[in-house]
Structure 1
Amino acid sequence: MKMRLLGLDLFLIAALSLLEGARCLKMGRLSVPPYKIRGEGAELVCDYELEDDALYSVKWYKDDEEFFRFVPKSDPPKSSYKIEGVKVDHTLSDDKRVALRSLTLQSSGTYRCEVSAEAPSFASAQKEAHMEVVYLPKDGPHITGEKRQYHRGDEISLNCTSGKSYPASVLHWYINDHQVRDRDELVQYPELVHHYGLVTSALGLRFKVEDHQFQGGSIRVRCVASVFPGFWVRDKERVVERVDQLKDHVREALLLVRAASSCHGASLFVVSAMLSLAVSAGT
């Protein structure tokens, strides 16, 4: 019985020692930008507290593949490994931060920071978060299908096509600044996927010309293309951060439909096409 009690005491002492050691390493803030624009750089920050422990290593992974490590006792202490979409700037990287440059769509993924302590605790802790790289459209949207003239009761049939982007642009039609929500007036087209995963969106609009739609002799028809990354919740701690530096990217095409008189007394509508762009984020 005494031997059994002694063994239990030793087990408890060892367990408490491990717990004490584990408390020496505390993970703090993990900062991984949820969204970045292709071509930009990104700074990943892994904050931690060692207290009485000594640092053994800090390792960074993308989708479970190691791409950077910092080991104080190594010479040199910094080393990186080639992974598609990951380019480490060693001059701006250290034990608590990693600087990435020239981001591509392949840079999207889950990034994990793993911190390990020296003996005697050998404590280890890690955190991860997701980063998505966005490709903003360089042009568009484009309105096609307009005719030069419309009679009362004629159907206006238009198509709006976005520029290439990732993720896909979301298209909306507006008539006189009122968003078209009637599904009978909207024509959904499948997305067109290009090389490197870029996507083109298309949305049709079909409606009949009516007198009440004219305001000051014209109908304003707009197509708005927006890239709305939204919030990607891919953190095990369920931490969602709002990104202020990535604003919605909005472009719009405007079509003016003007009324004109007919020599036979019937109303005739002359279409004058106009293209305008409104961009709320730099490309």
Structure 2
Amino acid sequence: MPFGINDSIRAGTCRSPLVSRTNESRRPTLVTVSFSCSRYDLEADKLYSITWYKDHEEFYRYVPRGEPMKHSYRVEGVKVDHRQSNHQQVLLQDVSLHSSGQYKCEVSAEAPSFNSVSAEASMEVVVLPQDGPSITGEEKVYATGDVLGMNCTSGSSYPAAILKWFINGEQVKPDTEMAFEQHGLYSVISSLRLQLEPDHIAGDKINV
């Protein structure tokens, strides 16, 4: 069997695949994520190094005969936990939106073969809204012919939330929709303007 990785790089223990923000700062809460690169077969060769890249930039190298064995490099969005990183996994701390990207693990053998193989995996960090969408502009009483005018605003998130309007269980198209960005997070405002017909207020109630 040739020297190689039996399986592609796989995400290991991912404590949280999503990044959520706090109520106070409205910024992403810092989490950790682990990538594993352990299922490879050296056969008669000896391991020279395990090298990790993000978007083609090297950020971590493990050399069992090196001094020191572990070394990390500055790459945006990447902060290596040296204590929990080794020849089988790399643990990233303080994961943020900048941590999204393509990750690659490269396994290299010592002389005389100098064989080298690699595998890749992508990671995307998303930020969920802290709260559900809020609707404003509703009136207490409506009659046939009135214009139903409302705004629906999503909480800050990444990527931007997709808002949909439903009147009595049936989807209707919004008039306008705008997204606003702050600190890399997006808030969406969707506006609905609809002239009410008799079917809309059947049963003396409008469900929005």
| TM-score band w.r.t. shorter chain | 0.7 to 0.9
Contact 1:116 1:122 survives alignment (8 Å) = yes
Equivalent position of 1:213 in the other structure = 200
Report the Cα offset of residue 128 of structure 1: 1.5
How far residue 149 of structure 1 moved from its aligned partner, in angstroms, is 2.9
Name the counterpart of 1:25: 4
Tell me which residue corresponds to 1:144: 136
Q: Which has the larger radius of gyration?
A: 1
Percent identity over the alignment?
46
What does the per-residue CA deviation read over 1:28-48, in whole Å, with 9 as the maximum and x for residues that have no partner? Answer: 231148993223221101131
Q: Deviations over 1:93-120 (max 9, x none)?
A: 1112111122111111111111100111
Pairwise CA distance, 1:204: 1.5
Q: How does 1:93-104 map to 2 (within 5 A)?
A: 93-104=85-96
Q: Which residue number in structure 2 is paired with residue 37 of structure 1?
A: 18
1:116 correspondence with 2:108: yes
Please point out which of 90, 102, 113 is paired with 2:82. Answer: 90
- Give the equivalent residue in structure 2 for 1:192: 180
Deviates more, 1:155-164 or 1:80-89: 80-89
Off by >6 Å, runs of 4+ in structure 1: none
Give distance in 2, aligned partners of 1:149 and 1:214: 10
**Unmatched tracts of structure 1, length 5 or more:** 1-19, 222-283
Give the whole-Å Cα distance in 2 for the aligned partners of 1:53 and 1:84: 34
User: With CA pairs under 8 Å and 6+ residues apart, which has the higher RCO, 1 or 2?
Assistant: 2
Give TM-score scaled by structure 2 length: 0.85
Secondary structure in 1 aligned to 2:98? helix
Report what 2:68 is aligned to: 76
Cα offset for 1:209?
A: 2.2
Decide which structure has greater helix share.
1
RMSD over aligned CA atoms reads 2.1
Q: Which moved more, 1:31-40 or 1:85-94?
A: 31-40
C-alpha contact (below 8 Å) 1:25/1:51 kept by paired residues: no
Conserved 8 A contact 1:146-1:158: yes
CA shift for structure 1 position 92 = 1.9
> Contact (CA 8 Å) 1:193, 1:199: kept in 2 or not?
yes
Once the two structures are superposed, the pairs formed by residues 242-253 of structure 1 within 5 Å of their partners are none
Q: How many residues align?
A: 195
Q: The residue matched to 1:151 in structure 2 has which SS? A: coil
SS at match of 2:44: coil
Q: Give the distance between the partners of 1:40 and 1:48, measured in 2 at CA.
A: 28
Q: By how many angstroms is 1:201 displaced?
A: 1.2
The answer to which of 141-150 and 95-104 deviates more is 141-150
Deviation of 1:27 (Å): 4.6
Q: What letter matches 2:189 in structure 1?
A: A
**Aligned 8 A contact 2:160 2:187 in 1:** yes
Distance in structure 2 (CA, Å) of the matches to 1:189 and 1:25: 50
Work out the CA distance in 1 between the residues paired with 2:73 and 2:202.
Answer: 62
Q: Does 1:175 align with 2:167?
A: yes
